[in-house]
């Protein structure tokens, strides 16, 4: 599910920023994304892992770069384990106001708390 239950064309334009084949580091699928509410951040449509898709250099000039996972390194293995155990999207990423999939977000946070 996506924001308001619909993948809007705008959300799926995040895929225009993925310039080459890239496998999601959590679910292993070819990365396809929708936008979150954070500038340049998309989430994997399969597992909900957030990636920075738009990048800038130190002079604030836009640069081309492969997707960068927006998860601390120490959590990547845990999210891979969650994905292997549940196959449930996690709906991570940054949103203004309510997470579009609160049940999925809460489930992964509660699972992480139990680890
Ligand atoms: Zn994924």
pLDDT of residue 9: 80
The more confident residue out of 10 and 62 is 62
Average pLDDT, integer, range 8-30: 91
Does 31 score more than 60 pLDDT?
yes
CA–centroid distance, 115 to ligand 1, in Å, is 21
Number of domains in the chain: 1
CA–centroid distance, 51 to ligand 1, in Å, is 10
CA distance 60 to 80: 33
Does 1 score more than 50 pLDDT?
no
H or E segment to which residue 55 belongs: strand 55-56
pLDDT of residue 5: 57
The more confident residue out of 17 and 4 is 17
Q: pTM of the prediction? A: 0.90
**Containing domain of residue 98, as a range?**
3-114
Under DSSP, the state recorded for 26 is T
CB 67 within 8 A of CB 22: yes
CA–centroid distance, 43 to ligand 1, in Å, is 8
Does 10 score more than 90 pLDDT?
no
CA–centroid distance, 114 to ligand 1, in Å, is 22
Does 52 score more than 90 pLDDT?
yes
């Amino acid at each position: 599910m996506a924001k308001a239950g619909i993948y809007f064309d705008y959300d799926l334009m995040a895929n225009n920023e993925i310039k080459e084949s890239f496998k999601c580091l959590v679910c292993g699928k070819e990365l396809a994304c929708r936008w979150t509410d954070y500038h340049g951040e998309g989430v994997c449509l399969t597992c909900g892992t957030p990636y920075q898709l738009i990048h800038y250099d130190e002079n604030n000039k836009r640069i081309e770069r492969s997707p960068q996972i927006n998860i601390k390194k120490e959590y990547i293995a845990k999210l891979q384990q969650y994905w292997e155990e549940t196959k449930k999207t996690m709906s991570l990423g940054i949103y203004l106001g309510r997470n579009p999939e609160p049940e999925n977000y809460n489930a992964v946070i509660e699972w992480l708390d139990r680890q």
